[in-house]
Chains A and B, each alone.
Chain A
Amino acid sequence: MIYFEHVSKRYGQQKDTLTDVNFHLPMGEMAFLTGHSGAGKSTLLKLITGIEFTSRGQVTVNGANLSRIKTSQVPALRRQMGIVFQNHQLLYDRSVFDNVALPLKIAGYHFSEIERRTRAALDKVGLLRKEKVNPVTLSGGEQQRVGIARAVVNRPLLLLADEPTGNLDPELSNEIMTLFRQFNAVGVTVLIATHDLSLIEPLNYPQLTLEQGRLIRNELGSERPQ
C-alpha cells in the first residue's frame, strides 16, 4: 500500500529531514510511526499525502509513484485516503454533519448517498445525535471523533493519522485507538504517527521509529511489493 524506497527529503539548503528511509506497509496492515517531535514523522506523512515530494528516492502509494504524479492528479490520490489531523482541522462555519459530508461532496455523490454514509460514519464514532451542532461546541475528544468520521466517510483504502491523540487524556486516547483498530479490522490500511509510546506499547502492532530523519526501527520490512 505504501512503499518507501531510499527516500530522502531536504528543505532548501538545510540538512536532511529524512535520510534513506525504506519500508513497505502492506495492504490491510496497521502500523505506528513513532519518534520524538522533529524526528521527521510529519514530513514522512506529507510525502504520502502529496503535500511534499521527495528530494531523492521514490514513494509509491497504492501503486502510484508519487514522484511521477501530476499536480492535477494529487486530489484524486488524496480521495483514496482518509487523513486525521492532530488539531482536528474541522470547519467551524458549518455543522458536524456538513464537516463529515465534505469528502463525499468533493467526490460528487448524490445527496441521498451522502446522507446515508455520513450518518453511518457519525454512528460509528458515536456522534449521531450531535450531527446538527457546530463542532466548536464539542469537547476535544468529540472533535477528534468528528475528524475521524470525516476521514473514513469515503471508505478510504488508507487511513493516515498525525498525532490523533495529541491533546487527549489517556482514556479518550484509548477510545480513539479502538476506533482505528476497528477500521483496520474491516480491511483499511492504517498508519498512525504518535510520540505516545505508553499508549501503543500494549497494542501489538508493528512500529516504525524515526530518529533525526533515519529509520532506526522497522518492524514492517522493506522488500519491494509484488
Chain B
Amino acid sequence: MRQQRQNRRKSRAQQPSNRLHAYLSHHREVATFSLGKLLQAPVASFMTIAVIGIALALPGAFYHFLKNAQAVSQSWDDSAQISLYLSQDISDEQGQAIASALADRAEIISTRYISQSEALTEFKQHSGFGGVLDALSTNPLPGVIIAKPNLSRHQSTQLINLVNEFEHMPNIELAVFDTQWVARMYAILDVIQFAVMIVASLLCLAVLLAVGNTIRLDILARKEEIIVIKLIGASDAFVRRPFLYGGLWYGLFGGFFAILLISLALMLLEGPIETLATLYNSQFSLHTLSPSMLLVLLVSSSLLGLLGAWLAVSRHLAQIKPR
C-alpha cells in the first residue's frame, strides 16, 4: 500500500510539466478521432457537408458579385459633378467671376469655367454635329461652370438641395447633377447588399440547424458510449469535445464545398459575362475569389459548425444520465 502511494505521488509529481503537452496531444487525438468518425460514414457526412456548402455558397456568391459591381462603380465615384449652364448674356469675365465665387463655398471643392467658344470647340470635337453649328451665324452654346461638390454620393438630399439652390441663382439657367444615375445605382447596390445580408443571416441559421441536427443524431447514436465514458469519470468537457470537433469538421468541409460551388459558378459565368462586357465595350471581367474572401468563408463556416455542435451538445448531453 505504501509502495503504491509512493508510486502515485511520483507519477503526480511528473505530471504538471507534461500537462499542457498531454492536453494538446489529447486535442489532436480527439480531432483525428472525430475526423475518422466523419469519414466512416461518407455518404451521411457528405449530405450534411453539402447542405452547409450550398447554404453558404449562396450568400458567398451574392456577396462576391456585389463586390465586383462595387469595384466597377468605384471609378465613377470621383465623377460626381454639377453642370451650371449660364445665361447667354453672361460674358467670359462675369462667368470666371461666378466660377471663382462658387469655388469659395464650403460645399464646393473646385470649379471650372468653360467659355462659350470653348464649349463650341468641345462640342464640335465630340458630337459629330460640327457642320450643323457652322451653318448658324451665332454660337448657340452657353458658358458652363463645372462644379465639384464636396459631398459623397450618400448625401443625396444635400446634393439635390445644392442643385436646386444653384438653379435659383441669377445668371444660371440650368443646373444639372450629371451623375444622378450613379447615385441611384449606388442606392440600388445598397439595397441589394442589405438583402444579401438578410439572406445570409437566414442561411447561416440554416447551417446552425443542419449541424445541430447532425450532431444531435450523433449524440443519440453514441448514447451508450457517452454513459460509459461518464461512468469512468469523464468530465462534461471531455464528453463534449469529440462532438464539438465533429461540428468544426462539418463546418470546415462545408466551407470548402461552398468555395467549390462558387468557383464552379464563376467558371460557368465567365463566358457569358465576357460577351456582355464586349457588347458594352468594357474590359470588365469577374474576379476570382480573393484569398481574404476564402479565409472569411472557411473561418465563418467552421465557427458556424462549432456553434451548431455546441447548441446541440449543451441541449442533449444534459438529458443523458448519469450526469
Contact = CB atoms under 8 A, between A and B. Distances in A.
A106 B26 CA distance: 9
Contacts of B321: 51
Interface size class of B (residues with CB under 8 A): 20 to 34
Contacts of A151: 232
A75 B23 contact: no
B316 to A, nearest CB: 17
A201 interface: no
Contacts of B26: 105, 108
Most-contacted residue by chain B among A49, A74, A108, A150 (CB, 10 A): A108
A187 B1 contact: yes
A186 B231 contact: no
Interface in B174-215: none
B1 A113 contact: no
Q: Interface of chain B, helix or strand or loop or mixed?
A: helix
B19 A108 contact: yes
Contacts of B292: none
A110 B22 contact: yes
Nearest to B26: A105
A79 interface: yes
A141 interface: no
Contacts of B227: 89
Interface size class of A (residues with CB under 8 A): 20 to 34
B11 interface: yes
A27 to B, nearest CB: 8
A107 interface: yes
B238 A106 contact: yes
Contacts of A150: 232
Given A106-B238, A155-B4, A75 B22 contact: no
B126 interface: no
A50 B232 CA distance: 11
A102 interface: yes
A49 B231 contact: yes
A117 to B, nearest CB: 9
